[in-house]
Amino acid sequence: MLEVRHDIVRAMGAFLSEAERRRAEWLKSERDRRRFIACRGQLRQVLASRLGIAPSDVELEYGQLGKPHLSHRMPSRNLRFSVSRSEDVAVIALSTGQEVGVDIEAIRPVPEADEIAALCFSASDYESYAALGPDDRLAGFFRRWTRLEAISKGLGCGLGHPGSSDDKDWGVRSFIPKTGYLGCVVVRK
């Protein structure tokens, strides 16, 4: 949960790198700054506990398209992770040796869902989505969307890159992190 007390956010802020602090400062709203700091602080705590180091000692590097990964100087470079946040909820996925991706979304009306689905979903996903009844359509959209996003995050690329929608090489698990949200985590097979 990202809505935490101000003193906890302040303490987590001490874990962040200088680049992460600058990124937080660029955010326009205080609420978004707090949520970013809480998410990054919790990520650093989780990684630090796995690595046996202090959260402020976790070093991250970034891939060509911005995907974070542990620095080559970290004690366990084979630890992979992915983070997703939506509104006041964040999820961290960890994997040893295999790429991992995670996405969560707050379920909310998306007036342009049909257009997005037509542009982004594979032909079979779009066909199964289009066949859903009105009561199942919103959840069906988000189930497919979170899977697509999780695979893209696992690959370290954005939507629309070659292979980003191909899920045959991934173990896929949908989940509900909190009422009103849907999520998906993928691990490369």
> Distance between CA atoms of 152 and 63, rounded to whole angstroms?
13
DSSP category for residue 167: -
Q: What element of type H or E holds 52?
A: none
Q: How far apart, in whole angstroms, are the C-alpha atoms of residue 132 and residue 127?
A: 9
Q: Identify the DSSP state of 177.
A: S
At position 64, the amino acid (one-letter code) is Q
Over 80: is that where the pLDDT of 1 sits?
Answer: yes
Alpha carbon distance, N-terminus to C-terminus of the chain? 30
Q: Which residues contact 29 (CB under 8 A, 6 or more apart)?
A: none
Kindly list the domain boundaries of the chain, sorted by start residue.
6-97, 102-188
- Shortest CA distance to 139 belongs to which of 105, 95, 166? 105
Q: DSSP string covering 121-135, please?
A: S-HHHHHHHHTS-HH
Give the pLDDT confidence of 42-89 residue by residue, as tens digits: 999 999 999 999 999 999 998 888 889 999 999 886 899 999 999 999
Superfamily for 102-188?
A: 4'-phosphopantetheinyl transferase domain (3.90.470.20)
Closest CA to 141 of 186, 174, 177, 95: 174
User: How does the average pLDDT of the chain come out, rounded?
Assistant: 92
Query: Is 142 in a helix, a strand, or coil?
Result: helix
pLDDT score for 157: 82
| 155-165 confidence digits (pLDDT tens) | 988 665 555 45
- If one counts every other C-beta atom within 10 angstroms of the C-beta of residue 163, the result is 10
Fold matches, 6-97 and 102-188: yes
Contacts of 147 (CB under 8 A, 6+ apart): 103, 167, 172, 174, 184, 186
Identify the pLDDT of residue 111. Answer: 96
CATH class entry, domain 6-97 = alpha beta
